[in-house]
Amino acid sequence: MVIGKAMASGRPVIATEVGGVDSTITDGVDGILVVPNDPTKLARQIGKLLEAPDRLSEMGIAAKRKIVACYGAAPIVAATISAYQNTLFSCGIQTGNNDHNATEDRNDR
């Protein structure tokens, strides 16, 4: 959660490759991934990024875009609506806003 919040604020994250972090950070694009238990490499990566403010900025922009695209309001609302519609459909309750009904409505005409 901390990684996502940092990325949402436009900050690239430098993290170790543990616990699924690599599913959030794309190494070299929106953050930096380093192997665990290598403080020298971690320090080196931090130094490189601090010495390249343009790259730091680009990675921060990419990080924010990724988080908004994946976890912003629009995709979360769409996923929630879809989940409710699928649940209702599987219970035999039809709504007017899903693909299942669109096909059935056309066939009823």
Check residue 97 and give its pLDDT: 63
The domain segmentation of the chain, as residue ranges, is: 2-70, 75-108
Q: What is the pTM of this model?
A: 0.69
The neighbour count for residue 79, using CB atoms within 10 Å, is 10
Residues 6+ away with beta carbon under 8 Å from 36: 16, 17, 18
Do the Cβ atoms of 7 and 30 come closer than 8 Å?
yes
Surface-to-core class of residue 107, CB atoms within 10 Å of its CB (0-12 exposed, 13-18 middle, 19+ buried): exposed
Check residue 87 and give its pLDDT: 93
**Which residues are registered as beta bridge partners of 14?**
32
Check residue 99 and give its pLDDT: 55
Q: Specify the 3-state DSSP secondary structure of 13.
A: strand
User: CATH for 2-70, among 3.40.50.2000, 3.40.50.620, 3.20.10.10, 3.90.1280.20?
Assistant: 3.40.50.2000
As a whole number of angstroms, the distance between CA 7 and CA 60 comes to: 7
Q: Specify the 3-state DSSP secondary structure of 18.
A: coil
Q: Mind listing the pLDDT tens digit of every residue in the chain (109 residues)?
A: 899 999 999 999 999 999 989 899 999 999 999 999 999 999 999 999 999 999 999 999 999 999 999 888 888 899 999 999 999 999 998 877 655 444 444 344 4
